[in-house]
Each structure stands twice: as C-alpha cells, then as structure tokens.
Structure 1
Amino acid sequence: MLKTEENLANLRLGKESALSYFMDLYSHNLHFFAYKLVRDKDSIPEIISDSFVKLWKHRADFYTIEELKSFLYIVVRNSCLDHGKAVRERYVHQQIEEENILANPDADILTKIIHIELITLLGEALEKLPKQQADIFRLTVLEGKTTTEACQELQTTANTVYFARSKAVNTLRQLFLKKNISYYPLVVFLYLF
C-alpha cells in the first residue's frame, strides 16, 4: 500500500512513471469492466486509454487512492455509455434491449464493479494455492465442469479431483475469513455473473 500511496504523490507531481504504475495496476480490471458494459473488444483499448489520458489531465485532483479508482471507473462507465449510444444510433433494431439494460445503469454498474473486484480477489487467492488445487478449483467451480471432465482435462483420477477441490475450498475459505468475506456468497455471486 505504501508503494501505491507513493505513486499517488508522484502522479500529483506529474511523474509519468506513476501514471504507468496505475495503468499496470488498474488496466486489467478496467478492461474487464468495460467489456461487461459494451462487449466490443475493438473499442475497449481506446476507452481504457482515454480514461488514463483523463486521469493524467486531472492528476492534481486526487488525494486518495479511492478517489483515483472511482474516477477511472466513472470515466470508463461514461465512455461505455457513450459508446452504447453511438451503437444504438447505428443499430436501431437493438434499441429496446439496450434501453432495458440502461434503465438503471448505476445499480448495474455497481454490481459489475463488485464482480470485477471479487474476481480479482479470487484470482489473487488462487495464485496462493498449489497449481493442481487451483486448476481443479477453476475447472470444477468457476467453469462448472464435471469431475469426469476435469479428470480428462488434467489426466488425473476422480479421487485426486475431490481431494484437491476440498483442500482448495478449505484454503480459500480461510483466506476469505481473514478478510471478513464469506466464501459461499462470494462463489454464488461470481457464478451468477
């Protein structure tokens, strides 16, 4: 966290290395967030780049990491909504579906931000697991594959899959309990979205 705070101070001073730090830190999550909103892989890099250009222009306005992060998400959200409007103008036949999606954009956006943050948290937790446990958890829980499919893909036995999944779930549960996050609602939330 100290490195992040230091880079925030350097960003305010106009050091480009600090901008690069925040680009590395947030680009992946912002990309995923934008994709959830526009589902247009070709326009997302430009949306993300523009958000960092705007961050640079307003760099002196940020006193906390939370302000900076909120700014980036809001800029990306607004750019995605603008992109959606442009697409809607080009494709009139999709207008009804998009109006339903955009009826309450703030609630939907917040859900997507939470989803991205939870996926990032889960990804970091999976990196701490042994490779076999992480692979089996990804396949059977996140991707929803059966034990048989996981056995075939990993060339292992059903007992190994059961044991590794059980160990992974217990380890993840303990990691999340330390962060005051209940494991089961997390998995349900990720599965639904």
Structure 2
Amino acid sequence: MEIDALWYIELKNGNENGLNRFMKLYLKPLSFFAYNIVQSKELTEELVVDAFLKVWNYQEKFQSDQHAVRFLYQVTKNACLNAVEKNKHVPPFDYELDNLLIYDDTDIQQQIIYDEFLQQVEKELAKLSEQQRNIFRMSCMQGYSTQEICLLLETTPQVVFNAKSKSIKHLRNVLDKPNNWFGVILFSCYLGN
C-alpha cells in the first residue's frame, strides 16, 4: 500500500492540507466500503464526510498513519451499522470514539486492502471497451451466469466468453508483474482461477 507520509505529518500538526491529502487518498475506497453496507449514495456521502470530520477532531491522538486509516474505517463501519439499525427501527449501538483509537480490527485492514484492489481493477477496466467492462462486471463481480448476461445484453454466449476472456487477460497482464505480487495474489483469489 503506497502512502504519502506527508499527509499524516500535516494532519497530526493540524494542517488542513493533511486532511485534504488524506481525503484524496481514501475518499473513493471509503465510499465504496460504506456503500456496500448502507446501499444508499446519499447516506454514504453523509457518513463518509462525518468520518473524515471525526478524524480531524481526533488528529492529535493518532500514533501512525495506519492508525488514522484504521480509525477512519472503523468509525465509518460503526456509523454505517448504526444507520442500518436505525432504518430497522432498532436503537443504534453507542460506540465510544476513544475505544476506537486503540481498536485494531483485522477485518478493517482486509477491507482496506480489498477496496484498494478493486480500485486498481476499476482503473484497468476503464481501459477496456464498454462491452468488455460490462460483461466482466456482470460475470465476475455481480455473479451473473453467461445465460443471464446473454438475456440482459441481448447477445450470444460466444460474445460473452470473448469479452470476459479479453478482460481477464488484460487484468492478468497488468496485475501479473514481478513488482505487483499483491495484485497477482488478490486477482487469483478474487477470480478463483
């Protein structure tokens, strides 16, 4: 995981540039993470903004850049779970922010890695044709069968097979670099190939 350490130093010193850099690095992956829980774009935006505000309010308590990132994800996860519970008309669970500062959740770290991997995949998918992108997403990310894709896109199984093969080949070529073992491992686990 590449991290620009300058954001952490600036954030810790109360410089808004640090917060801006931090937001630039984590806004998309955090939004993806939150959306997967709450399934609402508007609510996701609100919860993510609140999470960054909490990071700003607790900036002096962080012991490292990774500590700040874990805190950001944990605060977001808790807010998302509270929002989901609230929509079920159940009183939300009260989380103590000070306890989150020392909480180290491996699930959060795994989610961060997974979100960064998906960002890398999405970046590479943008280089493919629209048809290849759509078929890859439907097949590999959304779990549609070839037959379902054919019905939805009004195409043939051969077109689906070709588009999926080309997109997987492209992703493997990009992710299967000697200096990108991280991408290779995740890509193989992700596709199960």
Name the TM-score class by shorter chain. Answer: 0.5 to 0.7
Question: RMSD of aligned C-alpha atoms?
Answer: 3.8
Distance 1:171 1:158, change over 3 A: same
* Runs of 5+ consecutive residues of structure 2 not aligned to the other structure: 92-104
- The C-alpha deviation readout for 1:91-143, integer Å capped at 9, x for no partner, is 69xxxxxxxxxxxxx78767755543432231133245576654553455445
Deviation per CA, 1:44-71: give whole Å up to 9, x if none. Answer: 3222111111111122333543222111
For residue 126 of structure 1, what is the aligned residue in structure 2? 125
Number of aligned residue pairs: 174
Q: Percent identity?
A: 31
Change (3 A) 1:174 1:51: same
Change in Cα spacing, 1:132 to 1:54, as seen in structure 2 (3 Å) is same
- Asked if the contact 2:136–2:164 (Cα under 8 Å) also holds between the matched residues in 1, the reply is yes
- The amino acid of 2:176's aligned partner reads L
More helix by share: 1
Q: Does 1:58 align with 2:58?
A: yes
CA distance in 1, matches of 2:44, 2:24: 16
Q: Which has the higher contact order (CA 8 A, sep 6+)?
A: 1
The match for 1:71 is 71
Counterparts of 2:148 and 2:82, CA distance in 1? 45
Give distance in 2, aligned partners of 1:50 and 1:8.
Answer: 19
2:25 is the alignment partner of 1:25: yes
**Which digits, 9 at most, give the CA deviation of each residue in 1:150-192, with x for residues without a partner?**
7x96x99987765554333223123333322333421259xxx
Matches within 5 A, 1:31-42: 31-42=31-42
Q: TM-score, normalised by structure 1?
A: 0.65
Q: C-alpha separation between the residues in 1 aligned to 2:163 and 2:112? A: 30
Uncovered stretches (5+) of structure 1, i.e. residues with no partner: 93-105
User: Is the contact made by 2:70 and 2:109 (CA closer than 8 Å) also made in structure 1?
Assistant: no
Contact 1:147/1:161 (8 A) holds in 2: no
TM-score, normalization by structure 2: 0.65
